[in-house]
Amino acid sequence: MSASFKHLFGIAQLSRQQIEHLVHLGESFIELSRRSVKKAPTLRGKTVINLFFENSTRTRTSFEIAGKRLSADVINISASTSATKKGESLLDTGETLAAMQPHVLVIRHSISGACEFLADFLPDTSIVNAGDGAHEHPTQVLTDLLTLHVQAGGVAGKTMTIVGDIAHSRVARSHLLAAQKLGYKVRLVAPKTLLPRGIEQFGCEVFHDFDAAIPGSDVLYMLRMQTERLTSNCCFPSIREYHEAYGLNAARLALAADDCRVMHPGPMNRGVEIASEVADSARSHILDQVEHGVAIRMAVLTALCGNSPESSPSPRSKRREKAESAMRAQGKLL
Binding site for ligand CP (CB under 6 A): 56-59, 131, 140, 265-267
Least distance to ligand CP, CB of residue 175, Å: 13
Sign of the Cα torsion 223, 116, 12, 2 reads: negative
Least distance to ligand CP, CB of residue 172, Å: 12
CB 129 within 8 A of CB 74: no
Least distance to ligand CP, CB of residue 165, Å: 13
Cα dist from 101 to 96, 139, 244, 258, whole Å? 10, 23, 51, 51
Least distance to ligand CP, CB of residue 313, Å: 30
Indicate the residue among 57 and 307 with the shorter CB distance to ligand CP: 57
What residues have CB less than 8 Å from 326, skipping those under 6 apart? 120, 121
Task: Give me the long-range contacts of 39-45 (CB less than 8 A, separation at least 24).
Answer: 39/69, 39/71, 40/69, 40/70, 40/71, 41/70, 41/71, 42/70, 42/71, 42/302, 42/305, 43/67, 43/70, 43/71, 43/72, 43/301, 43/302, 43/305, 44/71, 44/72
Indicate the residue among 178 and 214 with the shorter CB distance to ligand CP: 178
Least distance to ligand CP, CB of residue 181, Å: 21
Least distance to ligand CP, CB of residue 142, Å: 12
Give the CB-side neighbour count of residue 80, counting CA atoms within 13 A. 3
Indicate the residue among 119 and 223 with the shorter CB distance to ligand CP: 223
CA distance 272 to 279: 12
CA distance 247 to 278: 10
Indicate the residue among 98 and 131 with the shorter CB distance to ligand CP: 131
Indicate the residue among 125 and 140 with the shorter CB distance to ligand CP: 140
Indicate the residue among 122 and 286 with the shorter CB distance to ligand CP: 286
